Chains A and B, each alone.
Chain A
């Protein structure tokens, strides 16, 4: 495991537990993510990795333990929580663009309504972001008129428009047709290069190798391994990870 200085962490989870009824989905999770670090979370389905990702901006509540963003503990509910969420970008598996708003409005809504940015400025920033993710042409369209890959890139731009401290990706390419996966991953790799702090739940091993600083392997609600991609892919320590990787590679 890589050594961590807790005070240095932008995102820190300490002894986090969560149950769904009888099912113990998160078991004593400890994780620190430093500023600028890209952490890829992988593991078999049902291992709790999505739940972990969603717990970080409290879309899932936890039973005990604590989660801190930039040294601040996640508030329970209300205004404080909303404020903190504005600093944590989230990209969902199913894009979740606002269906009744244009692409441009999808990007500007947060800055205008949450941050109080003027419409002119928000529009200008939004167009720059849309150009950056390669969908500037689509600005006046509605989400349903775009392909999945384009929608997901817009969703990334929407999160970036809030100028977040950290970006969470919850299986961002799992709902995409194979030929669209790369256009989304390219945007994410670029983002990683620019120094964004990222926590990425994914099945894309290529992305993990290319962009991750650390790979966290989860199984049955526990973090089983936490290593560099190089270490993890060439020399996994646990039998669970070996088993998982062998299944991936045989196909």
Chain B
């Protein structure tokens, strides 16, 4: 127990970095994932094909590969970063957006087809139908799965600890090495700080879900 209190500054530092990675990657993934879902239902075949290929490849390969790609392969191709955080954000948001895209797509499919027909019949273009009518309704219905994905993202960010980013898990690893006799307590501390993010997220989900529910 003491080991947690004595090392609070490290924990706090790691916690903030985990929070930062999660928030930034989460926002990018939400946006890119929604764009991918929109591409998937667009009338342009090339966009549909790209979206489908992206989702299938990224969703079905381990996150570690995405990290290797961002942290090792990209720099060799000439894309270098000052900080490893950038690579971590690229990997996390690229990986998470594939799942977001699938969730949003299921939401799009849940919107009755009559909504799009009505929007088209008053003269809306495809982009307007999508952004004004379909997506606002689709996103509301997929809030629970979206929050699930974001919770997974918070936990997935621990992989960054293996790629030189001193986020919560990275700090925990260092603390565990330095305090070999009380590893269990070190990890309890790590878990506690993860819960500090993920439990409020789950709570947020239920509040938001109730607030934006659409009656049909």
Which A residues have a C-beta under 8 Å from some C-beta of B?
Answer: 57, 59, 77-79, 82-90, 92, 94, 96-100, 109-110, 113-115, 142, 144-145, 155, 158-159, 162
Q: Is the CB of B123 within 8 A of A99?
A: no
Asked if B124 and A110 make an inter-chain contact with CB atoms under 8 angstroms apart, the answer reads yes
Cβ of B119 under 8 Å from chain A: yes
* Pick from A82, A84, A94: contact of B114, CB under 8 Å: A94
Asked if B140 is at the interface (CB within 8 A of a chain A CB), the reply is yes
| B215 lies within 8 A of chain A by Cβ | yes
Partner of A96, one of B117, B132, B215: B117
Residue contact B216 to A86, C-beta cutoff 8 Å:
no
Interface string of B115-140 (1 = CB under 8 A from A): 10111111111001000110011001
Q: Are B115 and A98 in contact (CB under 8 A)?
A: yes
Give the shortest distance, in Å, between A40 (CB) and chain B (any CB): 20
With contact pairs A94-B114, A144-B215 given, residues A59 and B120 touching in the complex (Cβ less than 8 Å): yes
Distance between Cα atoms of A36 and B59 in the complex (Å): 57
Alpha-carbon distance between A141 and B121 when the two chains are bound, in angstroms: 23
**Looking at the complex, which one of B112, B125, B136 makes contact with A100 (CB distance below 8 Å)?**
B136
Contact A59-B137, Cβ < 8 Å, known A109-B132, A158-B122, A162-B123: no
Which A residues are CB-close (under 8 A) to B115? 96, 98-99
Evaluate contact between A82 and B123: CB separation under 8 angstroms: yes
Contacts of A82 in B (CB 8 A): 120, 123-125
Instruction: Given contacts A99-B137, A110-B122, A110-B123, list 4 more A-B pairs with CB under 8 A.
Output: A57-B121, A85-B120, A85-B123, A155-B118
How near does chain A come to B177, taking the closest CB pair, in angstroms? 52
**B118–A97 touching, CB < 8 Å:** yes
Q: Mark B131-153, 1 if CB is under 8 A from A, else 0.
A: 01100110010000000000000
Contact across chains for B133 and A98 when beta carbons are under 8 A apart: yes
Which has the most chain B C-beta neighbours within 10 Å: A77, A90, A98, A115?
A98
Sample (24) of A-B pairs whose CB atoms are under 8 Å apart: A59-B117, A59-B120, A59-B121, A84-B123, A85-B121, A85-B122, A85-B123, A92-B114, A92-B117, A94-B112, A96-B112, A98-B115, A98-B133, A99-B216, A100-B140, A100-B214, A110-B122, A110-B123, A114-B124, A142-B214, A142-B215, A144-B216, A145-B215, A162-B122
A-B interface, 4 closest residue pairs, ranked by CB to CB distance from nearest: A86-B123, A144-B215, A110-B122, A96-B118
Q: In the complex, what's the smallest C-beta–C-beta distance from A60 to chain B, in angstroms?
A: 10
Q: In the bound complex, how far is the Cα of B65 from the Cα of A156, in angstroms?
A: 55
Would you give the shortest CB distance from A171 to chain B, in whole angstroms?
Answer: 13
Which B164-215 residues have a C-beta within 8 angstroms of A?
Answer: 214-215
Chain B contacts for A145, CB-based, 8 A: 215
| A98 x B119 contact (CB < 8 A) | yes
How far apart are the CA atoms of A162 and B112 in the complex, in Å? 23
Question: Is B62 an interface residue when CB atoms closer than 8 A count as contact?
Answer: no
Chain B residue numbers with a CB within 8 Å of A78 are 125
Which residues of B lie under 8 Å from residue A92 when comparing CB positions?
114, 117-118
Interchain nearest-CB distance for B113 vs A (Å): 9
Q: For residue B121, which residues in chain A have a CB less than 8 angstroms away from its CB?
A: 57, 59, 85, 88-90, 159
- The CA of A135 and the CA of B124, in the complex, are separated in Å by 25
Interface centre among A86, A88, A99, A110 (most CB of B within 10 A): A99
A99 touches B124 (CB 8 A): no
CB-based nearest A residue for B114: A96
Minimum CB–CB distance from A150 to chain B (whole Å) comes to 15
B9 at the A/B interface (Cβ < 8 Å)?
A: no
Q: Nearest-CB distance from B119 to chain A (Å)?
A: 7
Which residue from chain A places its CB closest to the CB of B118 in the assembled complex? A96
**Chain A residues within 8 Å of B114, by CB:** 92, 94, 96
**Chain B residue nearest in CB terms to A144:** B215
Question: What's the Cα separation between A94 and B115 when bound, in Å?
Answer: 10
The answer to whether A113 and B118 touch (CB under 8 A), given A98-B133, A99-B214, is no
Complex Cα–Cα for A88 and B122 (A): 8
Complex Cα–Cα for A71 and B71 (A): 61
- State in angstroms the CA–CA spacing of A115 and B128 once bound together: 13
Cα-based distance from A183 to B81 in the complex (angstroms): 67
Q: B123: which A residues are within 8 A, CB to CB?
A: 82-87, 110, 114-115, 162
